[in-house]
Structure formats: structure tokens, C-alpha cells
Amino acid sequence: MIVVCPLSRIAETVAATGARRMVTLINANTPVMRPTELAPADHLTLSMHDIVEDLPDMTAPADHHIETLLTFARRWDRSAPLLIHCFAGVSRSTAAAYTVAAALAPKRDEAELAATLRRLSPSATPNMRIVTIADRLLGRDGRMVRAIESIGRGVDAYEGEPFRLVIDIA
């Protein structure tokens, strides 16, 4: 199971879910306190801004970020939940959760996965640059992008509510 939350709710979400691996997608130099329950080797930090195009003095999501995310996710043994967070738990983290779920359940329909994401998180607005890169790297031929476009922008929120996304479905 993947758990998504904002930065402000990491500790309580780890305590509530038993997550033992964590992915942080956040601007460089933003302080993040790794809960003591997580070993340093089980925490991946990907420094990037929540942008969809290259901008001066900002780090846009890039292939190397998504490749690193996929490698980390594929090494996850799934014995305990994987926590994915960004600053607000709305854009970068939801895109990363969608990416990891698509990668680890390659036969899962992209549209069904996107609809599930929307049902679980009304505020989810996955970063389209992350989704576009993941779609290409995973060989999804635009299906991931179209699926996320179909759910549209989430409701406005300062930060998203934590939610749990089951990867495999029966």
C-alpha cells in the first residue's frame, strides 16, 4: 500500500500506518524530519519544485528524478506501507504515487487508477510533468497522461488529507 500525505503530517501518518519507507518530493533546502521509525536507507529525497516547465533558478522534475523513484519503488518489499509526501500532499506526491502504482501493477488500467486516485483524494492534482515523464519511461503510450487529464484539477486545498492507495486490485 502507498500512503500519501503533506509534509506537516509525516509523523502522524507513519505512526497511523506503520509505513517503513518514505519518498520526499520537495524543494531543495526545505527541512524534512525523517521519523525515527524509518532507517536512513529507506528514505529517498527527490529535490524538485512543483512546476511543469523549465523556469530560471528552479528545478523541474526530470527523467533522473523519475528513474530514481522507480528504482527505489521496485526495491520496496511491500511488507509495510510506502509513504510518499511533498509539501502539500496534492501535486508532486500524488503524481509519484500514481507513477509507483502504475509501475508496480503494470496491467492495471491507467484510467481506473486515476479515477481511484480522484475518489481517494478530491484535492489530488498530479504534477503533469512527472506524469508525462513516467508515462514515457513506463511505455504507457500517453495513457497515463490522458487518464490524469480526464480527472481534471482537484478541489482547491492548502494541503491534502492523507490517503491510502492499494496498488494491486483483484
Start-end of H helices in the chain: 10-17, 63-74, 92-104, 110-120, 128-137, 143-151
Helix (H) or strand (E) holding 57: none
Report, as an integer, the average pLDDT of 23-30: 95
Q: What is the DSSP letter of 147?
A: H
Q: In whole angstroms, give the CA distance from residue 109 to residue 58.
A: 33
How many structural domains is the chain composed of?
A: 1
Indicate yes or no: pTM above 0.75: yes
The pLDDT value recorded for residue 97 is 98
Report, as an integer, the average pLDDT of 19-29: 96
Angle of helix 143-151 relative to helix 128-137, nearest 10 degrees, comes to 150
Which CATH number does the domain housing residue 99 bear?
A: 3.90.190.10
Could you read off the pLDDT of 37-46 as tens digits, one per residue?
Answer: 999 999 999 9
Identify whether 170 is part of a domain.
Answer: no
Task: Go through the chain and tell me how many residues it has.
Answer: 170
The pLDDT value recorded for residue 38 is 95
101 Cβ contact partners less than 8 Å away, ≥ 6 residues apart? 2, 108, 113, 165, 167
Report, as an integer, the average pLDDT of 26-44: 94
Identify whether 135 is part of a domain.
Answer: yes
Identify whether 73 is part of a domain.
Answer: yes
Identify whether 94 is part of a domain.
Answer: yes
C-alpha cell of residue 18: 506503520
Identify whether 68 is part of a domain.
Answer: yes
Q: Which domain holds residue 82?
A: 2-165
Identify whether 48 is part of a domain.
Answer: yes
Average pLDDT, the chain: 96
Identify whether 99 is part of a domain.
Answer: yes
Identify whether 126 is part of a domain.
Answer: yes
